[in-house]
Amino acid sequence: MPEVPPQSTNGDESDGHVPVAVIGAGIGGLVTALALRRQGVRVVVFEQADALTEEGAGLALGANGTRALVRLGLGAELRRIAFQPEHVVFRHWRTGAVRQALPLGRDYEERFGAPFCTFHRADLRRLLADRYLDEGGELRTGHRCVAVTPLGDRVDVEFDGDRRVEAGVVVGADGVHSAVRTGVVGADRAVYSGRSGYRGLVAAERVGGVADELSFHLGPGKHMVVYPVHGGETVNFLAVVRDPRWTRESWVRRGRVADVLAAFADWSPAVTRIVGAADEVSHWGLFDREPVDRWSRERVTLLGDAAHPMLPHHGQGGNQAIEDAVVLAACLRRWPAQPALALDRYERARRTRTRMLQRGSRRNGECFQLPDGPAADARDDALRRLPEDLAWIHGYDADTALATLEESHHGELV
């Protein structure tokens, strides 16, 4: 696993009060912290890991995510680490024939006002961490949050090893197994989707180069998503199979390339060539949770996967964490003296949209894996309308979302 330097443990336990504590240094936590630093807020990120490591995997961000990052001043660096596929192409699982191809390059950028990009996760996380630390941010690694207790005008945050800090506001950005969530909404059950996914990275030269596209290979009971990362030097894939029961203790484990090859044996050479060239794969049980009605309590809120974990079939979990982050920062800027109000407004601005994406991601899982026949033909035909159908997702502008919410309530939010 690539390690993400630099590490910072600025600040120490003697500094017992922090205005804003962000729990978790994933994409959501780091973007939140960066957005708040840019507003001049003192924020401390607490991360359970001793170092910021990242699994070897890709991440795709739509215009809704990249727009927010560009506004945070990351545009040039983003383009440096990103790959911008020219097309999204849907292919038949066995023949590899193109069922639908749509532009993702300049046309997409003109339509939505920001690019569609793919990244190696470690590159993106390093960029976010570096920029946050450059802005004077504080990051305390080796801090696993175990409990968060709202106490009226402050919050007690407890870490393992019997360490604690007092915070003005706590943001639980601690992912799908969030400890902060348990304190806010109670211990709810993770829902297994009946599918698991194998993730792998392959050097492009090992598969004779890489197509300038994000491809979906859709077939009965399985699908595979492939796209370049690292400026096109590496190919990332996610191969999703039906897997009725996930009995392993952990949601992710080392997988076997031979199992993926066996599962996709009769698929097109475009698929088997890439899988066969992988040295290793990670194997993920795909879980989400039911949407919740509230995810803030007094001065504690949740963000990203901690608030609304979703299946990866819309490719939106990371995008939504970024949207959350900028809307939350905007609310804390708008209501600086009333943090509980700010958190409530943030949540109101975000709940419906993220709930729709949680549900839509479940539906996409089914839709991608239809058997050949009239239903699959109708799906492929309907994919032609994707730019219009997905405009509500990719066209979202987090900066204007709050203004719209305020307008729709005619000042009642104040």
Ligand X SMILES: Cc1cc2nc3c(=O)[nH]c(=O)nc-3n(C[C@H](O)[C@H](O)[C@H](O)COP(=O)(O)OP(=O)(O)OC[C@H]3O[C@@H](n4cnc5c(N)ncnc54)[C@H](O)[C@@H]3O)c2cc1C
User: What residues act catalytically?
Assistant: 227
Give the interface segment with ligand X, choosing from 46-54, 272-280, 293-301, 338-346 (CB under 6 A). 46-54
Quick one: which of 261, 91, 111, 290 has its CA closest to 187?
290
By CB under 6 A, name the one of 4, 18, 27, 35 that touches ligand X.
Answer: 27
Smallest distance from the beta carbon of 297 to ligand X, in angstroms? 17
| Closest to ligand X by CB, 179 or 207 | 179
Pinpoint the alpha helices (H) of 312-373. 317-334, 339-367
Task: Give the Cα separation of 197 and 240 in Å (integer).
Answer: 4
Structure tokens given for 353: 């949209």
By CB under 6 A, name the one of 85, 137, 197, 219 that touches ligand X.
Answer: 197
Smallest distance from the beta carbon of 259 to ligand X, in angstroms? 16
By CB under 6 A, name the one of 18, 22, 26, 277 that touches ligand X.
Answer: 26
Smallest distance from the beta carbon of 318 to ligand X, in angstroms? 3
| Closest to ligand X by CB, 54 or 298 | 54
Work out whether 85 is an interface residue with ligand X (CB under 6 A): no
| Closest to ligand X by CB, 47 or 138 | 47
Residues 169-188 that bind ligand X (CB under 6 A): 173-175, 179
Work out whether 339 is an interface residue with ligand X (CB under 6 A): no
Pinpoint the alpha helices (H) of 39-197. 63-69, 75-81, 106-112, 121-134, 179-185
Work out whether 59 is an interface residue with ligand X (CB under 6 A): yes
N- to C-terminal Cα separation, the chain: 47
x/- map, 115-154, ligand X, by CB under 6 A: ----------------------------xxx---------
| Closest to ligand X by CB, 304 or 365 | 304
Smallest distance from the beta carbon of 286 to ligand X, in angstroms? 6
Task: Give the Cα separation of 414 and 407 in Å (integer).
Answer: 11
Quick one: which of 390, 17, 359, 314 has its CA closest to 168?
17
| Closest to ligand X by CB, 48 or 369 | 48
| Closest to ligand X by CB, 147 or 261 | 147
Work out whether 48 is an interface residue with ligand X (CB under 6 A): yes
Residue 116: partners with Cβ closer than 8 Å, 6 or more residues away: 60, 61, 62, 63, 66, 84, 85, 104, 108, 109, 214, 394
Residues 279-338 that bind ligand X (CB under 6 A): 284, 304-306, 312, 315-319, 321
Work out whether 199 is an interface residue with ligand X (CB under 6 A): yes
By CB under 6 A, name the one of 21, 22, 23, 204 that touches ligand X.
Answer: 23
Q: Are strands 296-297 and 281-288 parallel, antiparallel or unpaired?
A: unpaired
Task: Give the Cα separation of 310 and 238 in Å (integer).
Answer: 16
Task: Give the Cα separation of 272 and 371 in Å (integer).
Answer: 19
Residue 178: partners with Cβ closer than 8 Å, 6 or more residues away: 24, 172, 302, 305, 306
Q: How many CB atoms lie within 10 A of CB 292?
A: 17
DSSP 190: P
Residues 227-266 that bind ligand X (CB under 6 A): 238
Contacts with ligand X, residue ranges (CB under 6 A): 23-29, 46-49, 59-61, 143-145, 173-175, 179, 197, 199, 238, 284, 304-306, 312, 315-319, 321
